[in-house]
Amino acid sequence: MDETVAEFIKRTILKIPMTEMMTILKAWDFLPENQLQTVNFRQRKESLVQDLVLLCESKRASLRDAALLDIIYTQFHRHQKVWDVFQMSKEPGEDVDLFDMERFKSSFEKILRRALKNVTVSFRDAEENAVWIRIAWGTQYRKPNQYKPVYVVYYSQTPYAFTSFCHLKSNTPLLSQALTVASNHHKIVKMDLRSRYLDSLKAIVFKQYNQKFETHNSTMPLQETLELDMHMDSRIIHENRIEKERVQRVTQETFGDYPQPRLEFAQYKLETKFKSDFHGGILAERKEPLRCLIKFSSPHLLEALKSLAPAGIADAPLSPLLTCIPNKGMNYFKIRDK
């Protein structure tokens, strides 16, 4: 086994937390069950890793096997990457898409290899007819860097692809081209949507985040009046009850009853002229637009926005610039004067 491959496997296994070690090794399915049972999983991690690497050497693990392990690790730790979303489109009136996964994979790899000899491409099929692609980029003279790969997640016969953030922007056009051609599309555009939470991005672009529907089978709960009133002592009077109910209603109409998809930030780039009621202010006469960047960050941005008005921090309804985020599939905005 190549030294670089051994080192790569060693470093990948070292990243795996002990609690997940068995699960990930089983998913990898490279070391058979009986061999795994001979290993002492209670020893210190460094010694365990050494034992495992020795086993891999005895089985002659290749770069391909190592790349597969890397994919599995990333699938378990997808939140460690920041994901972008690309949207592809076809010409109108195209034939029905007869997507063949094997043809897609070979076409994708061929396009990359034609442009760049030094590249490692690996695939792993995933649920819902999706595929995870791992690409380690090299250059004309240098071998691929296995420690800075790019991941692409593609659900067949959909126009969206999710890619992990790549430091090497120069390879993005090539990657875009490979994706577009291999999946029978014509154009590709990067969306202004980015997050660590791959599943939330998927929910947003596939429009799967609101899955509550009224049916005759389910009894829809009647418009819940403010819970405050129901259980409290009748001697307690709630001031602004009507206003509170209005805010509750507006919030529910805007954000719905469902759990919001998870995003960590929304960014607004403003390039607008200053608008003021006071004439003769210093900024009012400025002809150039002001440039500023406003960023909202949160462990769960949309839930935070949803709670703003009920908490009394903001007026309801919130600005459409905030509430349109899942609907428009954007969390990067550029606002200019019309």
Positions touching other proteins (CB under 8 A) are: 95-102, 128-129, 155-158, 160, 205-208, 210-211, 213-217
| Smallest separation, CB 86 to other proteins (Å) | 15
Measured CA to CA, the distance from residue 253 to residue 106 in angstroms comes to 47
| Smallest separation, CB 302 to other proteins (Å) | 15
Q: SS3 of 210, please?
A: coil
| Smallest separation, CB 215 to other proteins (Å) | 6
Q: Which one, 73 or 255, has the nearer CB to other proteins?
A: 255
| Smallest separation, CB 131 to other proteins (Å) | 11
| Smallest separation, CB 296 to other proteins (Å) | 24
Q: Which one, 116 or 131, has the nearer CB to other proteins?
A: 131
What's CA 152's distance to the chain center, in Å? 11
Q: Which one, 94 or 243, has the nearer CB to other proteins?
A: 94
Q: Which one, 37 or 215, has the nearer CB to other proteins?
A: 215
Q: SS3 of 181, please?
A: helix
Q: How many angstroms separate the most distant Cα atoms in the chain?
A: 82
| Smallest separation, CB 159 to other proteins (Å) | 8
Q: Which one, 136 or 205, has the nearer CB to other proteins?
A: 205
Rounded to a whole number, what is the distance in angstroms from the first to the last CA of the chain?
Answer: 62
Measured CA to CA, the distance from residue 245 to residue 1 in angstroms comes to 68
Which token pair is 188? 């590709």
> C-alpha angle 38/44/49, rounded to 5°?
60
Q: Which one, 58 or 208, has the nearer CB to other proteins?
A: 208
**Which residues fall within 8 angstroms of residue 86, CB to CB, at 6 or more apart?**
160, 161, 162, 163, 176, 179, 188, 189, 190, 191
Pairing of strands 265-272, 332-336: parallel
